[in-house]
Amino acid sequence: MTTTLYSGPLSMFGAKVEIAAREKGVPFDLVMVPFTTDDAYEPKHPEVLRVNPVKQQVPVWVDTIGGVHGGHGGPDEVALFDSTQILEYLEDRYPGPAHLALWPRGIAERACARQLEQKSDEVFFPHVIKLFGLQHDMKSAAAVAACAGCARFYDEMEGLLATREHLAGPYSFADIAFYMAYVFADRKGAGMTDATPRLLAWRTRVGERPAVRAVVDPMMRFLASQGRGVPAFLRR
């Protein structure tokens, strides 16, 4: 079997998949697609276009599995896009021992973790996206509103951590998703403050995990090489 992850040096969603695969000990080849300084990935990699022809985005995960009937690419291939869908596949394909699971075991707990992962992508991160075009005017009404939206989300996560060390109880893909979204929020001026001490401690716990550092450290080195800002909490 050969396994390839197509990602990009500043792909938040690609980083989510790479961290998850490393946490689970899944072997894979990593292909970083071409990147241009305007945050685009050009020219589009042919495998990305083949697997994700409409959105044309990373991450893309391709498993070539001898003797196992797969999906989009052929009878012996599983070819997927979308970070959450790839994670679900990894959990099914490589269940492993309990300590390598990235969703909680209980049905209700797993549903809550999935909801938290979805909220990181669809509730929290849209505030961050709004800040991408506002770095020149962080005092504008739009930027202030986006930062306030991030702060409200931080308060919500702070409440969750009152009784647990991770967002959904055990460490899960919900933590990976929010950590990576937060890295970009901090880059764009919506960092955490002393108002959420439990969340700051969570940030340290997650950031010290070897799988997280193996993915985030190269991303920060890439940012520095491009003359872009690196969040203070990630300056090694």
Q: What is the pLDDT of residues 127-162, one digit of tens each?
A: 999 999 898 899 999 999 999 999 999 999 999 999
Tallying the residues shown for the chain, one arrives at 236
CA distances from 197 to 127, 157, 193, 194, 228 (A): 22, 11, 8, 5, 27
Q: What is the mean pLDDT of residues 184-192?
A: 96
Whether 23 and 91 map to the same domain: the answer is yes
Residue 101 reports pLDDT greater than 80: yes
97 vs 193, more confident: 193
Say yes or no: 118 and 205 in one domain.
yes
Phi, psi of 166, rounded to the nearest 5 degrees: -130, 165
> Which of 100, 115, 141 is where one domain is finished?
100
Q: Strand 2-7 to strand 29-32: parallel, antiparallel, or no bridges (unpaired)?
A: parallel
- pLDDT > 70? residue 171: yes
What range does the domain containing 185 cover?
107-234
Mean pLDDT, rounded, for 69-81: 71
Q: Is the pLDDT of residue 46 over 80?
A: yes
Q: Is 70 helix (H, G, I), strand (E, B) or coil?
A: coil
**Please, which pLDDT band fits residue 23 given cuts at 50, 70 and 90?**
very high
d(CA 160, CA 135): 30
> Three-state DSSP class for 80?
strand
Judge whether residue 49 has pLDDT over 90: yes
Total domains in the chain come to: 2
pLDDT at 68: 45
CATH number at residue 200: 1.20.1050.10
Least confident among 1-10, 60-69, 186-195: 60-69
| More confident of the two residues 11 and 76 | 11
Task: Look at residue 74 in the predicted model and tell me its pLDDT.
Answer: 53
Residues 82 and 113 in one domain: no
Rounded CA separation 127/152 (Å):
11
pTM of this prediction?
0.93
